[in-house]
Chains A and B, each alone.
Chain A
Amino acid sequence: MSNPQNINSYRRKFMQGIGVTAAAATLAPGMLLREVQASNKEGYVTDKVRWGMLIDTNKLVEGGQEVVNACKKEHGWGAEAHSNERQKASWVRKVTVTEKTTGYVNQLPVMCQHCETAPCVDVCPTGASMKRADGIVLVNKHICIGCRYCMMACPYKARSFVHESLFDQHADSPRGKGTVESCTMCVHRVDEGKEPACVEASNGAIVFGDLNDPNSNISQKLKAEDGKQIRADLGLNTGVRYQGI
């Protein structure tokens, strides 16, 4: 027979143990881990501009493959050594669309559409998926927990999860195992006053500019010729528009 006093003491120790463990688990992260924070560019990015792209699919020489190649070269994705084809990162892809009724075939590059009301930003539990004031949708890798809810929510399948450790990354395009990534609209170039890499490689098929400025090239072109959104029915007000689809 167990002594009731022993049982009580055993129980007390057990509960104390739980308490100490819980306290340690709560406090340890704050004390032990070093905080890493990206540089603060507040004041630099403004909502006075909204960056956007207009893609004329008729002018694309390779149906968007040139866009894919330029993006890969700029950011270094898609060469993951261990991932299979379904796991490899894909920031932009060439999509072939065949109209069911008419049989008309069209090709276009599909990447993050930089939605004004982005579903990925809505669902992200930590706020890692975020929209900059200038409309560029990005992932803050420092607080992305890798839950992939944004990938479930994105209507364009524009996001990739990094399935393995990466080496020799491009300095301007930090990536990380276990986090989600997508087209950054070459934010590192835009912040330096340059155009995204895909725009440069498109031979004029893609126009980049400020959608908020009525005098910008992109705004003028959209006003005169219009541009379509993919899945406009979802009401996401995308920053990437298309002509010829």
Chain B
Amino acid sequence: MSNKVIYKEIENNGIGFYGLLGLMGLFIWGGAVAFFTMEHHGHYISGMDNQIVWGMPHIFAIFLIVAASGALNVGSIGTVFGKKVYQPLGRLSGLLATVLLVGGLIILLLDLGRPDHVVEMFKGHLNFKSIFAWNMILYGGFIALVGLYIWTMMDRKAKKYYKPVGFSAFTWRLILTTGTGSIFGFLVARQAYDAAIMAPLFIVLSFSTGLAVFIVVTMATYKMTGRPIGDVILNKLRYLLGIFILGLLLLEATRHLTNLYATEHHAVEAFILDGDNIYTTLFWFGFVLFGSLLPVALVYCRQLINNRTSLFVAALLTIMGGFSLLYVIVIGGQAFPLELFPNAVVTSDSFDGVMNHYSPSMYEVLLGLGGVAVMLALFMVAVKVLRFMPTSLADNVVDPHTK
């Protein structure tokens, strides 16, 4: 039997494939209904208001966008760092990165107050001082570059461009996540933001969540298509996930410790780390305990070596942890009141000086889930019509030196 990596479309034509695609369609329909309802009535039917201006859709969107650049890492490790074991996963990595970004951008676009006005940006109304405007270009460039990257992997005639395009895509993705983190990095007005560490924090967050999504989607797809996947590649991904989670914990700890160094930030840090609110619960239980320490334990526990369920659960927990962290950053940061007058208690009938409350509406959750469904549906259609998936990722295929 040949050990060559062979890529083939998935052959699933049964009720399983179309049933799952139909389920995604249902969620996409739900997202569309949510969008049109919010578009028709206005955002008053959402849980967002003039105090919490970014809500659940933004958490979904930022999660998907951040995970998109992280999902490309698997391919980059093969291309940029020359690790041959990862190379068969390159196409899947590029595909997942693209569909994640598309899913995230759709949510972001459909939550806008006037999505139709985005046309104006294409007519040249772009403010290059805005990191948002830069992000538009970074996102577009990312999709184009990853498209090229996939092409260099799929077309033998384009093989010579594989390395340079792979390098470019890797560099671009680092800049992209820097841009996403910088959205929060330079908001002088908000106590919880305005820290340059946001950019590297988002990069490491993308490493862990992107890889976690890659692991979940790849394991599920191989299971459902009945294609073999070996322990060699899974254990590589397993330990990589462990390192990325620890890296994220380190950066997040640094962010809080450096904030705590300045006494003026003690109030906002106490609000997040030791408050009687959802953010403290999500931070310690959602992110730290169940979203980081537990998956790290599952990854490194000696009794669980080669245990696929533990890897799958660890990846799912990492996704939950990243989502929790984003909730704490995005919502928690807005919930803490703006400081108009330091050393004074500020009150008004417009909610000055109060901890702002937020509870997401059904529409926002549906819109977010719709974006996730778009991403999964695009992935399913793509692996069905194009040759993204190796027929086997068994040990003897990905690593010929393995017995």
Bound CA–CA A102/B125 (angstroms): 49
Name A152's contact: one of B118, B127, B129, B334 (CB within 8 Å): B334
Q: Tell me the number of A-to-B contacts counted with CB atoms below 8 Å.
A: 189
Given known A90-B350, A164-B41, contact A100–B386 (CB-CB < 8 A): no
Chain B residue numbers with a CB within 8 Å of A153 are: 187-189
Bound CA–CA A149/B186 (angstroms): 12
Bound CA–CA A1/B212 (angstroms): 35
Name B348's contact: one of A11, A93, A125 (CB within 8 Å): A93
Bound CA–CA A123/B340 (angstroms): 20
Chain B residue numbers with a CB within 8 Å of A151 are: 50, 53
Is A127 in the interface zone, CB < 8 Å from B?
yes
Name A164's contact: one of B42, B115, B118 (CB within 8 Å): B42
Contacting pair B130 A125 (CB below 8 A)? yes
Chain B residue numbers with a CB within 8 Å of A30 are: 119, 122-123
Chain A residue numbers with a CB within 8 Å of B136 are: 125
In B107-148, the 8 Å CB interface with A consists of: 112-123, 125-127, 129-133, 136
Chain A residue numbers with a CB within 8 Å of B338 are: 155-157
Contacting pair B49 A84 (CB below 8 A)? yes
Is B259 in the interface zone, CB < 8 Å from A?
no
Q: Which residue of A lies closest to B356 (CB)?
A: A86
In B95-112, the 8 Å CB interface with A consists of: 112
Bound CA–CA A192/B365 (angstroms): 47
Mask: chain B, 320-359; 1 = CB below 8 Å from A; 0 = not: 0000000000000010001111011111111110001000
Chain A residue numbers with a CB within 8 Å of B356 are: 86
Mask: chain B, 20-58; 1 = CB below 8 Å from A; 0 = not: 000000000000000000000111100001110110000
Looking at chain A's contact residues, the main secondary structure is: loop
Bound CA–CA A194/B350 (angstroms): 29
Contacting pair A94 B348 (CB below 8 A)? yes
Bound CA–CA A178/B114 (angstroms): 5
Bound CA–CA A26/B121 (angstroms): 12
Chain A residue numbers with a CB within 8 Å of B189 are: 119, 152-156, 234
Contacting pair A125 B133 (CB below 8 A)? yes
Shortest C-beta distance, A30 to chain B (Å), equals 8
Contacting pair A162 B117 (CB below 8 A)? no
Chain A residue numbers with a CB within 8 Å of B351 are: 86
Name A95's contact: one of B119, B339, B348 (CB within 8 Å): B348
Is B385 in the interface zone, CB < 8 Å from A?
yes
Bound CA–CA A83/B129 (angstroms): 33
Q: Which residue of A lies closest to B183 (CB)?
A: A149
Q: Interface stretch among A39-47, A137-145, A215-223?
A: A137-145
Given known A142-B120, A148-B54, A178-B112, contact A83–B340 (CB-CB < 8 A): no
Contacting pair A97 B44 (CB below 8 A)? no
Is A177 in the interface zone, CB < 8 Å from B?
yes
Chain B residue numbers with a CB within 8 Å of A144 are: 113-114, 117
Name B125's contact: one of A90, A126, A152 (CB within 8 Å): A126
Shortest C-beta distance, B350 to chain A (Å), equals 4
Bound CA–CA A180/B48 (angstroms): 14
Q: Which residue of B lies closest to A26 (CB)?
A: B122
List 9 additional A-B contacts (Cβ < 8 Å) besides A11-B386, A99-B343, A152-B187.
Answer: A29-B119, A33-B116, A94-B348, A94-B349, A124-B132, A144-B117, A145-B114, A146-B115, A231-B339
The residues of B with any CB-CB pair to A shorter than 8 Å are 9, 41-44, 49-51, 53-54, 112-123, 125-127, 129-133, 136, 183, 187-190, 334, 338-341, 343-352, 356, 385-386
